[in-house]
Amino acid sequence: MVSRPERIGRYRIDSVIGVGGFATVYRAHDERLDATVAVKLLAENHSLDPDVRERFLQEGRVLRHIGSAHVVAVHDLGETERGQPYLVLDLADRGDLARRVQERRAAGWRPGPADLLAVAEPLAEALAGVHVSRIVHRDLAPKNLLLRSTRVPVPGRAATVIGVDEALVLADLGLSKDLATASGFTVTGGTAGFTPPEQRDGPGRVDHRADLWAASAVLVWLALGHPPDDAGAWPAELAANGWPPALAAMLAAELAIDPAGRSLDAGTWLVAFRGALAPPATPPPVVPRPPPVAGAPGRRRVALAAALAAVVGALGGALGVRSLEEGAASDEQQVEELSGGRQRAEASDGGRDLAITGPREVVVGETASFEAESAGVESTVWVGPDGRLHPDADALDVATSSPGRATVRLIGADEQGRTL
């Protein structure tokens, strides 16, 4: 049994929320701000270990640099008189997803498509915010997906696993890796059943696609009640439980042993998932893709997802097209100059078309507005320069505040989950 201190710093301790191998989390009251918070205290024995101590403090620093509403926020960092560091975090007052699903399943509940979507959308948003900060979580699992009450209800949410007055937030970045300063190589670690092969069988090179593997394992777990098995029986189990074959195919691709077989990023992962979740009863015919015309004016080959890069300088810059990843599958993309200093970039593949129209340049301080057009595409997701996702929006406004280059992406998926 964990002894509960009366106070940690200026925070009055109310109760124990959870106990882990390295730290204890308390429900506490900030008397200065009159707010209920969570205080995460590193265990006394681990506080003497410089490596563990630094990793604990690094978690707080990482969280301070991630501005996603779906990643738990840190408000303070301190140290007790006994030399134990602590973090002051948002309180997730509704528990975690692991416990929520366990309790619901014990009562006979089974998830539907809306439940998977209610988890996938904020999870993708959280990962986009983490990854745009050049961070890999490395321990994405149901126990680290927390639920908190929110004053901004989600209108029209049909899910039963997450209420309209609840928000899902990603927590526990204690195993996270900063790709900007690290080599990418990692030691083994993570939660059993939700650890990608390159991390589980390490040491190996780990990047953001490790989190996409884990996110896909979370969806399999949510749909079936257990993570994907090594024997590969889970796709047949999905089919036996009435889930569409396209969903199993999409998740199987994201759970590939080779990270190259997974999505480029969280936005692509989400739009592929949304397309695969509700495919048509009869798949549409596949339209053969015509071979590219040699020397065709105004055309170039780019990576799988269409991308527009808005360059904002003191007097503006240029809106252009760039390759997202060398060697990625490609679509035909055409860039057209329009009047008024605007450009239109269109990507097409097999009867599917996706286009962004926006300014070639903007003055710092102005807002750049981009419009979307699509055909043969069931759903779309904008990926803003800050990594935030904007599903099925007709337009995206980007505020500029300093000179530099910002990337705006639009990703589409057809009814079979194929992305463009």
Active site residues: 139
Only one residue has tokens 């003497």, namely 48
Dist CA 82 CA 43 (whole Å): 11
Q: Go through 245-283 and write b for each residue having 16 or more CB atoms within 10 A of its CB, e for each that does not.
A: ebbbbbbbbbbeeebeebbbbbbbbbbbbbbbbebeeee
- Please state the φ and ψ torsions of residue 185, each to the nearest 5 degrees: -75, 145
Place of tokens 């394992």: 217
Q: What are phi and psi of 153, to 5 degrees?
A: -60, 150
Name the nearest CA neighbour of 388 among 208, 181, 40, 125: 125
Measured between alpha carbons, how far is residue 403 from residues 188, 205, 365 in Å?
Answer: 40, 33, 10
- Cα–Cα distance, 272 to 251 (Å, whole number): 9
**Separation of alpha carbons 419 and 306, rounded Å:** 10
For strands 395-399 and 299-302, give the pairing. Answer: unpaired
Q: What SS3 class is residue 164?
A: coil
Task: Identify the H or E element spanning 121.
Answer: helix 113-132
Check: CB of residue 305 under 8 Å from CB of residue 321: no
